[in-house]
Structure 1
């Protein structure tokens, strides 16, 4: 009896332990699934918090399985992607993909491949995007998963659309269309038909494009998505503009505005389209009104390219309606935005750099001066008529003088930046770095990428400053010379001599003062020498002046002048204009000396100038 009792108690204990273990495992799975759902809801609004939640789940969940770990990485990659952090998305999804492959999870492997392709496509890495998309297409076919198959076809459509291979793009998107139509996924079908219409627009087959948009519009009425309806109405309106059916275009664009008003959404696209429609009909008053409404919306959305396009049209309208002052104001605003947009493009091209070129600073300064001038005019408003007239004239004269000086300074800054950052120099340097990379010297390649990125950052950081320390100027030109030596395979030597009485940390100089002359010495003097080139910079201090001597043993100015472009603004002219703006008479100290041998042969060039340091 005692033995049976003991056995029964043992069996009962084991059953309880198993039941507790199963319950705990189920709770863990519930907690895991619920946490993933929470991150889904946060991913587009607070991605950092979503990532932190996933990190905490990974650290704190007891008995985390390899499958769960892989799913956490997958979810992180998706969060990075929807927040435009494409490099992070690529790195994370690579790890997730490898884990899913080890787990023989073909479904989630394919999902990771799809995001990897999409992220590489957004990162403009087209070869990798195609590789991942084709692999995803193969997996989806073997799985017979229509949704994954449609997504893979859609990615291949985007790839070929980017490559402007429109027939191939149309082939892939039609395959995706057939799959989604069979699955009754209305939202996806609408997006695909819009893509099909986009291809027809590129091929200038406007009737087919309109038909595809109309089909999408009919489907959109069934899903009750006003945002989708607005987008389709806009697209149809713009297509009618292409076909010069302006009345129909206006009808659909006005409908888009009405739908937006009903759902309290602000969208600049239909206003821009209506502006263009009336512009083409030479109704400049109506066109201007719509354009101004559109640009107000795009300013709120910080959509610079759209603002530039609209300002181009407003400039044209102002010129055609004989309003030169208004045209000039639009042009100044447009130029400032263009500078800002160009800076963004440069940052995108050199993605390893963190350069932020603040093109709006000068506009803020000019606006401040204008406000001060307006206040001053109000203060003098109570004076007698004669004094008021005199002060208004004087104020206008001073304002115009300041504006001209500011514009001149801005032009010089742009000219200087163009000389420092000409595409020929950038692409040759990148090509040299690429060669080092191909030679499998990653440390050397990394060092030069860092130097080049630092040089780009210095150029954009310093160009807007009036003065920097001599130490920073020397560091920048040394970085520049090292980059040039890389380009020309160290065909010349660089010698820097700084006098002991020069306190490089406290002495101030105008930024980017020396680089144009060093560049001239390299490009037009030392470039022609196969070896033995010497570039020498001497800096000394004489009382209240800082003296610079730049000397090279190149081919000389006689040969140099034959290679220069006649229309290109000479570095010397920009240099002198910068010194003139300082109003210290420093430009008078500038001298260029041609160096000759005893046989009267050109053996280089010497440049001498001085600047005041008090």
Structure 2
């Protein structure tokens, strides 16, 4: 049985196109190659070059010249140094070399593809590269090496459930077992592959594995079972309208029937193969059919008919230079002449068969030598590209190093200048801050005599208008307040609870002094810890004093003073609200009394807030006064909003 059928089946299972259109005009091809320069993106260019390399592959193969599209793709991919792109390039070129039987070169390219597939760490690509390399070594009749690659491919494909590569690996291992005489193992692998192809609805894969099972059973001598599998494969190929698949099946059936000595069925199948092969570009199948028909006629004793078909095979093979078919045809012709007793012609045919056998060996040796030389040239070119890339990278590194040195020096000088600027600025700011702090202390110190003067005036009035017992009580509270104020005003910041405590003492004194004409209410937000929040001392008291003496004392009826404290982030808001006579009426009263001077406490406090704003470099230290009115526009009091930056103990 011919060994050519499994070879073609393998081409089919790997998805290799046997019919590739190619351009006849070389100038058109090279114009197409030039158009790659207009493509954007190097990866896009590489993929485009590979596609065109496959399209025009047979044009260059026929002329035995290197494919410039592939050469350009390799150069560009080496420049890019992207592992996935390099894998694609070497994998495709390897397949192209295998298609023209340059298996040594194909294996070399596919082993490079393995290297770059491993760099991607994508098991799918790693399986593809190993399966292709396994096929190359199987064509070189190195089954052990081929098995090793296919087995590793199978492990990788199973790891990521890559069904396509699982099927390829199992089928290839089956073919290795078939070629090494392990027919039972081959059948086991073909059946596994067949089941997977059926589960994944891959009819072409089903047809191939059915045919492979036929070969295995034919080698075992189970011809009826082999014929059954060939027929099943034929049915699927017919359904697919796969001309090559049908030709292979008819030739296999013819060979099986011939082995059964059922020559009528054999000739019928082989003639059907010839009818189908008209639509197949690869003429070697026609030559094979002629050869098998001739063998059938020879076994039937119809020597003239046999020699006619042998001659058809020889003529076709000489035209297309199918040396292997010529060797087999002359060998069959020698057997036929010998069977008919024509020993002279038998010897002549045998000699011609040996000539072609020697020619095949010479061609094989020459091809291997050419491939080894090509591998050397490819490696040399790759090394040149790598050396150029290495030199380019070194130059780029030197340029980068010089740029880094210049940038570092410039950066250092800029940092030195900026650092010097900020140092001087910081020193000036510190000096300014110290000056402002001294001013603030001066203003804070002014608060003490101002407040003491007002309080003593109140005691004086109180003593003259009240009894001594109440005056004594007032004086006791006053002394406590004085001690607290003297303690508090030593510090830039005091806790909120101390400020509010002194404020309550002050309000108690003012209530006594004014005969309880007003009530006060102090509320603090629940989220404020009064002991942790720190504010400037005596900052609220002047506004409270102003509300009492300019708003509430002139009011008819009970007055109310409300102080509400809230905190947001690091900003304290204090609302001082009274239901007094309002600012407009208070101003009129002042003018009637001839009082035109501005409150010393208010003036000093505004100066303190302005300094706090400057020291903290913030706009958050503000005071705003709002006149409250009813629906008819009558004054209902005044609200002072004090916003201050605060500090925290922790």
- Using the size of structure 1 for normalisation, the TM-score is 0.49
- Whose relative contact order is higher, 1 or 2, with alpha carbons under 8 Å and at least 6 apart? 2
Structure number with greater Rg is 2
Q: TM-score, normalization: structure 2?
A: 0.46
